[in-house]
């Protein structure tokens, strides 16, 4: 559906739309249980993942009696007085060979606390919101080629993480109506030796946590931002075709028309921080047309 609504988006950009519009307002259970099939295909082993509470412990060891009770409370029972299912899970917790040989009672791979994000990732698919376009520029998903130095027009040069969309000549009234946030670089999501990571770019690898996101529209055709707020902090640049702002709040990002691109501003409610462009590249209109 997203591809049909915005046919100019690349595959990775369709994924960006789906991920940034996913619903994170999800209520999860206190714990979940997963079943792992052994090498022979006949034996079953279990893992218990706590989500909304910490793993119960006695010192460093897992408190299996409390885990058993938590399983019963979570519904792993056939009746109010039944404990056989919970006991079976406890008796068949997943262990590595090293855990077995050392009699490890910390159960590092079978009784573990996981965050909500580790369970549902970016969230649950929200198809209706996804059809409203991008909802955030996630710097963690960008590549070194997306890092560009930009002169703000006052002689100040700075590197930004730019999200670039090429409308490829399309003029179908395509509109992004979600607010567009900025998701900062988070070190925990990245490997030091990852290929094509921003960490491999010597220009910015010491300042990734302070890197700001910007937006570039390229190619012929038109893209609209409509009835939304642009919350990212880097510049918004039109380098081809037209970028239209319809009743948009853009108080964190400055607008630039560059290399033949145009920015068209519509609506009495549009509020922008700064506009830098040739007079022939901007049109201000107080009402929709």
Mean pLDDT value across the chain:
89
Q: What is the CB-side half-sphere exposure of residue 57 using CA atoms within 13 A?
A: 14
| Range of lowest pLDDT (36-50, 168-182, 215-229) | 36-50
Model pLDDT, residue 279: 41
Contact 110, 129 (CB under 8 A): no
**Residue 101's pLDDT is what?**
79
For residue 160, the SS3 value is strand
Is the pLDDT at 102 greater than 60? The verdict is yes
pLDDT value at position 251?
85
Share of the chain above pLDDT 90, in %: 65
- Give per-residue pLDDT as tens, 27-72: 999 999 999 887 777 778 999 999 999 999 999 999 999 999 999 9
> Is residue 107 packed enough to be buried (19+ CB in 10 Å), middle (13-18) or exposed (0-12)?
buried
pLDDT value at 272 more than 90: no
pLDDT top residue among 163 and 260: 163
Concatenated DSSP letters for 106-145? S-TTTEEE--HHHHHTT-B--HHHHTT---EEEGGG--GG
Q: What is the mean pLDDT of residues 83-99?
A: 91
pLDDT of residue 249: 95
Is the pLDDT score of 203 beyond 70? no
Percent of the chain having pLDDT more than 70?
Answer: 93
Mean pLDDT over 116-129 rounds to 92
For 183, the enclosing helix (H) or strand (E) is strand 181-183
The mean per-residue pLDDT over the stretch 242-249 comes to: 96
This prediction has a pTM of: 0.79
pLDDT of the residue at 43: 78
| Residue 286 pLDDT > 60 | no
pLDDT score of 76 more than 60:
yes
Q: What is the pLDDT of residue 289?
A: 44
Give residue 268's pLDDT.
87
Q: According to the model, what pLDDT value does residue 278 have?
A: 55
Q: What is the pLDDT of residues 126-166, one digit of tens each?
A: 999 999 999 999 999 999 899 998 987 778 888 999 999 99
Residue 61: C-alpha distances to residues 48, 135, 165 (Å): 15, 43, 52
pLDDT of residue 277: 63
pLDDT for 224: 97
Q: Burial-class residue 52 by CB neighbours within 10 Å (0-12, 13-18, 19+).
A: exposed
């Amino acid at each position: 559906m997203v591809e049909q609504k915005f046919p100019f988006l690349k595959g990775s950009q369709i994924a960006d739309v789906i991920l940034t519009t996913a619903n994170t307002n999800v209520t999860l259970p206190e714990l979940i249980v997963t079943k792992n099939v052994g090498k022979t295909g006949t034996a079953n082993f279990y893992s218990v993942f706590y989500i909304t509470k910490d793993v119960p412990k006695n010192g460093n060891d897992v408190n299996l009696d409390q885990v058993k009770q938590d399983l019963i409370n979570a519904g792993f029972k056939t009746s109010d007085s039944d404990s056989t299912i919970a006991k079976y899970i406890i008796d068949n917790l997943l262990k590595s060979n090293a855990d077995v040989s050392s009699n490890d009672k910390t159960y590092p791979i079978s009784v573990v606390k996981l965050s909500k994000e580790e369970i549902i990732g970016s969230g649950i698919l929200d198809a209706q919101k996804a059809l409203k376009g991008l909802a955030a520029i996630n710097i963690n998903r960008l590549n070194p080629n997306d890092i560009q130095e930009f002169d703000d027009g006052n002689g100040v040069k700075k590197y930004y993480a730019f999200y670039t969309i090429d409308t490829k000549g399309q003029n179908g009234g395509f509109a992004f109506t979600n607010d567009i946030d900025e998701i900062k670089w988070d070190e925990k999501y990245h490997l030091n030796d990852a290929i094509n990571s921003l960490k491999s770019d010597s220009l910015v690898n010491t300042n990734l946590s302070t890197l700001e996101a910007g937006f570039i529209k390229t190619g012929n055709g038109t893209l609209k931002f409509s009835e939304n707020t642009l919350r990212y902090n880097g510049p918004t640049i039109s380098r081809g075709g037209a970028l239209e702002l319809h009743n948009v709040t853009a108080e964190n990002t400055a607008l630039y028309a560059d290399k033949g691109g145009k920015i068209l501003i519509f609506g009495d409610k549009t509020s922008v921080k700064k506009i830098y462009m040739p007079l022939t590249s901007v049109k201000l209109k107080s009402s929709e047309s």
